[in-house]
Structure 1
Amino acid sequence: MPRTPPKLCRLPRPTQDIPARWLVSTIDNALAMLHAGALHINCPFAEPLYGDMNDTGLVWQQRLGDWWQDEKPWLREARRLESDKQRDWFFWRQKRGVVVAGV
């Protein structure tokens, strides 16, 4: 059975200038688009990896409200499972064709 390649989510270097809502939306959207496999989150960190101990980022986190305690995803978009129909399908369905499938 072939392995499903992981979906990649590239994030910018962490800073409190990036809105918490954007970060959560980006990760939530990547998870929603995931059909199988893993989500690889790539985030470059600048050194030192720790900041000022007085800067906890609490104000930044509070912008998300009580969402942290909720089990619902941040984004509530329905996943589209059907594909668009071919505009001239009536014409094409009467033609003979060849199907080529592979891995």
Structure 2
Amino acid sequence: MGLRAPTSKAYSRVQAAEAKSPLETEVAAEKAAALGRAGRAIEWALKQLDDPDIDDNREERLLRAAQAVQAYFLQRELNGLRDQREIINAFNIPRAVLNRIGIMRPR
């Protein structure tokens, strides 16, 4: 009786993860960095919402925050992460911002 390598799904996933080329590793790093930048943009935009020293009206700030949230959601979806509920809770994104996602500003 000969020996053969394990064929469990968990083992094959580990092998596949380790077998990435340098290009795939660099692409994964860039995806993570882009997601981090988009997350920081959300944090900045949400801080601006309640800042009394900003001259813009509140509607303009809500639209900026919605644009940042939409960009983050799209970045996550490009990475295969479709459920946004945990992000909404983690960032404590107000309903007023979520209601404005996708709204285009008049030029």
Does TM-score exceed 0.5, indicating one fold? no
Q: Please say which structure displays the higher CA radius of gyration.
A: 1
User: What TM-score, normalized to structure 2?
Assistant: 0.30
Q: Which has the higher contact order (CA 8 A, sep 6+)?
A: 1
